[in-house]
Amino acid sequence: MNPWLNVHNGDLAQAEALLRLNEPYCVGAAYRFLKRGKKDRLWKNKDGSALLLYARRILFPVFRSAAFPSSLIKNEGLILPRFFSFIGKKLHAAQGLASDMDLMEAGMEARGFFSTAGFEYDLMNWDRAQDRIPARWNVPVPPRLTIRQADGLDLERLFPLQLGYEAEEVLPEGAALNPESVRNGLKAILLGFYTLTAEMDGRLVGKININAESFSRFQIGGVYVAPDYRGQGIAGALTREIIRRLLPKGKRFSLFVKKNNAAARSVYDKIGFAPIGDYRIRYYHP
Protein backbone atom coordinates (compact mmCIF):
# COMPACT_ATOMS: atom_id res chain seq x y z
CA MET A 1 0.00 0.00 0.00
CA ASN A 2 1.36 3.41 -0.97
CA PRO A 3 1.80 5.53 2.20
CA TRP A 4 1.32 8.90 0.46
CA LEU A 5 -1.96 10.78 0.24
CA ASN A 6 -2.62 13.24 -2.56
CA VAL A 7 -3.58 16.53 -0.89
CA HIS A 8 -6.49 18.44 -2.36
CA ASN A 9 -7.44 22.08 -1.86
CA GLY A 10 -9.81 21.28 0.99
CA ASP A 11 -7.35 19.11 2.93
CA LEU A 12 -4.37 21.36 3.61
CA ALA A 13 -4.38 21.82 7.40
CA GLN A 14 -1.81 19.11 8.23
CA ALA A 15 0.46 20.19 5.38
CA GLU A 16 0.36 23.80 6.56
CA ALA A 17 1.06 22.76 10.16
CA LEU A 18 4.20 20.87 9.13
CA LEU A 19 5.44 23.77 7.02
CA ARG A 20 4.85 26.26 9.84
CA LEU A 21 6.63 24.00 12.33
CA ASN A 22 9.70 23.70 10.12
CA GLU A 23 9.48 27.05 8.33
CA PRO A 24 13.11 28.19 8.86
CA TYR A 25 14.24 25.07 6.99
CA CYS A 26 11.77 25.22 4.09
CA VAL A 27 10.95 28.81 3.13
CA GLY A 28 10.88 27.96 -0.58
CA ALA A 29 8.42 25.11 -0.06
CA ALA A 30 6.22 27.26 2.19
CA TYR A 31 6.21 30.02 -0.43
CA ARG A 32 5.10 27.56 -3.12
CA PHE A 33 2.43 26.20 -0.78
CA LEU A 34 1.03 29.70 -0.26
CA LYS A 35 1.14 30.35 -4.03
CA ARG A 36 -0.42 26.99 -4.94
CA GLY A 37 -1.62 26.84 -8.51
CA LYS A 38 -3.61 24.18 -10.31
CA LYS A 39 -0.43 22.59 -11.66
CA ASP A 40 1.20 22.10 -8.26
CA ARG A 41 1.12 18.64 -6.68
CA LEU A 42 1.24 18.00 -2.95
CA TRP A 43 1.47 14.74 -1.02
CA LYS A 44 1.58 14.01 2.70
CA ASN A 45 1.71 10.85 4.76
CA LYS A 46 -1.25 9.81 6.90
CA ASP A 47 -0.34 11.75 10.05
CA GLY A 48 1.01 14.82 8.25
CA SER A 49 4.60 14.43 9.47
CA ALA A 50 6.14 14.29 5.98
CA LEU A 51 5.42 16.31 2.87
CA LEU A 52 6.37 16.35 -0.81
CA LEU A 53 5.58 19.41 -2.89
CA TYR A 54 6.11 19.54 -6.66
CA ALA A 55 5.82 22.94 -8.34
CA ARG A 56 7.24 24.41 -11.54
CA ARG A 57 9.37 21.27 -12.13
CA ILE A 58 10.96 21.53 -8.66
CA LEU A 59 10.44 18.96 -5.90
CA PHE A 60 10.58 20.01 -2.23
CA PRO A 61 10.80 17.29 0.46
CA VAL A 62 9.91 18.47 3.98
CA PHE A 63 10.53 15.71 6.51
CA ARG A 64 11.65 17.58 9.63
CA SER A 65 9.78 15.83 12.42
CA ALA A 66 10.62 14.25 15.76
CA ALA A 67 10.57 10.74 14.29
CA PHE A 68 10.53 10.18 10.56
CA PRO A 69 7.79 7.60 9.85
CA SER A 70 9.24 4.16 9.07
CA SER A 71 6.26 3.49 6.81
CA LEU A 72 7.87 5.81 4.22
CA ILE A 73 11.20 3.96 4.14
CA LYS A 74 12.11 0.94 2.08
CA ASN A 75 15.69 -0.32 1.78
CA GLU A 76 17.02 2.93 3.30
CA GLY A 77 15.31 5.03 0.65
CA LEU A 78 12.07 6.96 0.46
CA ILE A 79 8.99 5.27 -0.98
CA LEU A 80 7.79 7.61 -3.71
CA PRO A 81 4.17 8.54 -4.44
CA ARG A 82 2.23 6.88 -7.24
CA PHE A 83 2.70 8.42 -10.68
CA PHE A 84 6.18 9.65 -9.73
CA SER A 85 7.54 8.20 -12.96
CA PHE A 86 5.53 10.82 -14.84
CA ILE A 87 6.85 13.65 -12.65
CA GLY A 88 10.39 12.29 -12.64
CA LYS A 89 10.61 12.63 -16.41
CA LYS A 90 9.78 16.34 -16.14
CA LEU A 91 11.74 17.11 -12.98
CA HIS A 92 14.30 19.92 -13.22
CA ALA A 93 15.53 20.05 -9.61
CA ALA A 94 14.95 18.89 -6.05
CA GLN A 95 15.93 20.92 -3.01
CA GLY A 96 15.76 20.77 0.76
CA LEU A 97 17.70 19.98 3.90
CA ALA A 98 20.58 17.61 3.16
CA SER A 99 19.18 15.00 5.57
CA ASP A 100 15.82 15.08 3.80
CA MET A 101 17.50 15.01 0.40
CA ASP A 102 19.50 11.91 1.40
CA LEU A 103 16.22 10.02 1.76
CA MET A 104 14.72 11.63 -1.33
CA GLU A 105 17.70 10.85 -3.55
CA ALA A 106 17.95 7.24 -2.38
CA GLY A 107 14.30 6.72 -3.26
CA MET A 108 14.69 8.39 -6.64
CA GLU A 109 17.80 6.42 -7.53
CA ALA A 110 15.98 3.20 -6.69
CA ARG A 111 13.45 4.25 -9.33
CA GLY A 112 16.13 5.10 -11.89
CA PHE A 113 16.28 8.88 -11.50
CA PHE A 114 19.83 10.17 -11.02
CA SER A 115 20.90 13.79 -10.67
CA THR A 116 23.28 15.31 -13.20
CA ALA A 117 24.70 18.03 -10.93
CA GLY A 118 24.14 19.77 -7.63
CA PHE A 119 25.31 22.21 -4.99
CA GLU A 120 25.81 22.06 -1.22
CA TYR A 121 24.89 25.11 0.87
CA ASP A 122 24.87 26.48 4.40
CA LEU A 123 21.32 27.43 5.35
CA MET A 124 21.45 30.65 7.39
CA ASN A 125 18.92 32.68 9.37
CA TRP A 126 18.73 36.24 10.71
CA ASP A 127 16.32 36.25 13.66
CA ARG A 128 16.71 39.55 15.50
CA ALA A 129 13.72 41.39 16.95
CA GLN A 130 12.08 44.07 14.84
CA ASP A 131 13.75 47.00 16.62
CA ARG A 132 17.18 45.44 17.02
CA ILE A 133 19.33 46.67 14.15
CA PRO A 134 22.90 46.16 15.43
CA ALA A 135 24.86 49.34 16.12
CA ARG A 136 27.80 47.93 14.15
CA TRP A 137 25.66 48.24 11.02
CA ASN A 138 26.16 52.01 11.15
CA VAL A 139 29.13 51.88 8.83
CA PRO A 140 29.65 54.19 5.85
CA VAL A 141 28.62 52.78 2.50
CA PRO A 142 31.26 52.73 -0.24
CA PRO A 143 31.85 56.20 -1.73
CA ARG A 144 29.58 57.14 -4.65
CA LEU A 145 27.33 54.12 -4.01
CA THR A 146 23.57 54.60 -4.36
CA ILE A 147 21.09 51.89 -3.36
CA ARG A 148 17.48 52.08 -4.52
CA GLN A 149 14.49 49.85 -5.21
CA ALA A 150 14.39 48.42 -8.72
CA ASP A 151 11.39 48.18 -11.03
CA GLY A 152 10.53 46.89 -14.48
CA LEU A 153 12.29 49.84 -16.13
CA ASP A 154 15.61 48.46 -14.85
CA LEU A 155 15.28 45.21 -16.81
CA GLU A 156 17.85 45.94 -19.50
CA ARG A 157 20.39 47.55 -17.17
CA LEU A 158 20.13 44.67 -14.70
CA PHE A 159 20.23 41.98 -17.36
CA PRO A 160 24.07 41.73 -17.53
CA LEU A 161 24.22 41.37 -13.74
CA GLN A 162 21.58 38.65 -13.79
CA LEU A 163 23.49 36.81 -16.53
CA GLY A 164 26.60 36.93 -14.34
CA TYR A 165 24.68 35.73 -11.30
CA GLU A 166 23.10 32.82 -13.16
CA ALA A 167 26.44 31.77 -14.66
CA GLU A 168 28.34 31.91 -11.34
CA GLU A 169 25.74 30.87 -8.78
CA VAL A 170 22.94 28.90 -10.47
CA LEU A 171 24.08 27.18 -13.65
CA PRO A 172 24.95 23.50 -13.09
CA GLU A 173 28.27 22.28 -14.45
CA GLY A 174 28.01 21.38 -18.14
CA ALA A 175 24.72 23.25 -18.67
CA ALA A 176 24.36 26.04 -21.23
CA LEU A 177 23.16 29.50 -20.25
CA ASN A 178 19.90 30.49 -21.95
CA PRO A 179 19.79 34.30 -22.15
CA GLU A 180 16.08 34.41 -22.99
CA SER A 181 15.24 32.25 -19.99
CA VAL A 182 17.41 34.50 -17.79
CA ARG A 183 15.63 37.59 -19.12
CA ASN A 184 12.21 36.11 -18.42
CA GLY A 185 13.28 35.08 -14.94
CA LEU A 186 14.59 38.57 -14.20
CA LYS A 187 11.35 40.09 -15.45
CA ALA A 188 9.38 37.86 -13.07
CA ILE A 189 11.64 38.87 -10.17
CA LEU A 190 11.20 42.58 -10.87
CA LEU A 191 7.43 42.20 -11.13
CA GLY A 192 6.94 39.86 -8.19
CA PHE A 193 9.67 40.41 -5.60
CA TYR A 194 11.31 43.26 -3.73
CA THR A 195 14.61 44.05 -5.47
CA LEU A 196 17.39 46.55 -4.75
CA THR A 197 20.10 47.83 -7.07
CA ALA A 198 23.49 49.31 -6.28
CA GLU A 199 24.71 52.06 -8.61
CA MET A 200 28.20 53.51 -8.84
CA ASP A 201 30.00 55.53 -11.51
CA GLY A 202 26.82 55.76 -13.56
CA ARG A 203 26.27 52.02 -13.87
CA LEU A 204 24.43 49.33 -11.97
CA VAL A 205 27.08 47.28 -10.21
CA GLY A 206 25.10 45.09 -7.81
CA LYS A 207 21.72 43.61 -7.03
CA ILE A 208 19.81 41.71 -4.37
CA ASN A 209 16.24 40.46 -4.19
CA ILE A 210 13.74 38.47 -2.19
CA ASN A 211 13.04 35.17 -3.92
CA ALA A 212 10.47 33.67 -1.53
CA GLU A 213 8.12 34.91 1.17
CA SER A 214 6.60 32.42 3.59
CA PHE A 215 4.40 32.71 6.66
CA SER A 216 6.86 34.70 8.76
CA ARG A 217 10.09 34.85 6.73
CA PHE A 218 11.67 36.46 3.69
CA GLN A 219 14.27 34.48 1.77
CA ILE A 220 17.09 36.58 0.32
CA GLY A 221 18.66 35.60 -2.99
CA GLY A 222 20.11 36.93 -6.21
CA VAL A 223 22.99 38.69 -4.45
CA TYR A 224 25.53 39.67 -7.09
CA VAL A 225 28.23 42.33 -7.54
CA ALA A 226 30.01 42.97 -10.82
CA PRO A 227 33.56 41.52 -10.68
CA ASP A 228 35.29 44.90 -11.12
CA TYR A 229 33.49 46.28 -8.05
CA ARG A 230 33.99 43.46 -5.57
CA GLY A 231 35.88 43.88 -2.32
CA GLN A 232 34.34 47.30 -1.59
CA GLY A 233 31.54 46.20 0.75
CA ILE A 234 28.72 46.44 -1.79
CA ALA A 235 27.24 43.00 -1.10
CA GLY A 236 27.16 43.75 2.62
CA ALA A 237 25.58 47.15 2.04
CA LEU A 238 22.87 45.62 -0.15
CA THR A 239 22.10 42.89 2.39
CA ARG A 240 21.90 45.29 5.32
CA GLU A 241 19.68 47.66 3.32
CA ILE A 242 17.14 45.07 2.20
CA ILE A 243 16.79 43.92 5.82
CA ARG A 244 16.41 47.51 7.04
CA ARG A 245 13.67 48.23 4.50
CA LEU A 246 11.67 45.05 5.05
CA LEU A 247 12.12 44.61 8.80
CA PRO A 248 9.04 46.76 9.63
CA LYS A 249 6.92 44.02 8.04
CA GLY A 250 7.72 41.91 11.12
CA LYS A 251 9.31 38.96 9.34
CA ARG A 252 12.66 37.24 9.79
CA PHE A 253 15.19 36.48 7.04
CA SER A 254 16.71 33.35 5.55
CA LEU A 255 19.23 32.57 2.82
CA PHE A 256 21.50 29.78 1.68
CA VAL A 257 25.08 30.20 0.50
CA LYS A 258 27.40 27.77 -1.25
CA LYS A 259 29.76 26.06 1.18
CA ASN A 260 32.77 26.92 -0.99
CA ASN A 261 31.89 30.64 -1.18
CA ALA A 262 34.00 31.87 1.75
CA ALA A 263 33.71 35.54 0.76
CA ALA A 264 29.90 35.53 0.80
CA ARG A 265 29.80 33.51 4.01
CA SER A 266 32.03 36.13 5.68
CA VAL A 267 29.66 38.93 4.60
CA TYR A 268 26.63 37.18 6.10
CA ASP A 269 28.47 36.25 9.29
CA LYS A 270 29.31 39.91 9.90
CA ILE A 271 25.70 40.96 9.35
CA GLY A 272 24.48 38.45 11.92
CA PHE A 273 23.25 35.46 9.93
CA ALA A 274 23.81 32.14 11.70
CA PRO A 275 23.99 28.70 10.07
CA ILE A 276 21.16 26.36 11.05
CA GLY A 277 21.66 23.42 8.70
CA ASP A 278 23.00 21.93 5.50
CA TYR A 279 20.95 22.57 2.37
CA ARG A 280 21.18 20.88 -1.03
CA ILE A 281 19.96 21.40 -4.58
CA ARG A 282 20.16 18.56 -7.10
CA TYR A 283 19.50 19.01 -10.82
CA TYR A 284 17.99 16.37 -13.08
CA HIS A 285 16.71 16.94 -16.58
CA PRO A 286 17.74 20.14 -18.43
Of 23-27, 132-136, 151-155, 173-177, where does mean pLDDT reach its minimum? 132-136
Mean pLDDT across the chain, nearest whole number? 92
User: In angstroms, rounded to a whole number, what is the distance separating the alpha carbons of residues 61 and 96?
Assistant: 6
Compute the average pLDDT of residues 257-281: 95
Residue 233 has pLDDT above 60, yes or no: yes
Instruction: Write out pLDDT tens, residues 183-215.
Output: 999 999 999 999 999 999 899 999 999 999 999
Instruction: Write out pLDDT tens, residues 128-162.
Output: 755 577 777 877 778 899 999 999 899 999 999 99
User: In angstroms, rounded to a whole number, what is the distance separating the alpha carbons of residues 260 and 109?
Assistant: 26
User: In angstroms, rounded to a whole number, what is the distance separating the alpha carbons of residues 192 and 105?
Assistant: 31
Residue 99 has pLDDT above 70, yes or no: yes
User: In angstroms, rounded to a whole number, what is the distance separating the alpha carbons of residues 24 and 123?
Assistant: 9
Q: Looking at residue 159, what is its pLDDT?
A: 98
In terms of phi and psi (left: phi > 0; alpha: psi -120 to 50; beta: otherwise), the region of 15 is alpha
Q: Looking at residue 131, what is its pLDDT?
A: 58
Compute the average pLDDT of residues 66-88: 86
Q: Looking at residue 170, what is its pLDDT?
A: 94
Q: Looking at residue 262, what is its pLDDT?
A: 95
Q: Looking at residue 286, what is its pLDDT?
A: 65
Instruction: Report the share of the chain in percent with pLDDT over 70.
Output: 98
Task: Decide: 225 and 198 in contact? Cβ < 8 Å.
Answer: yes
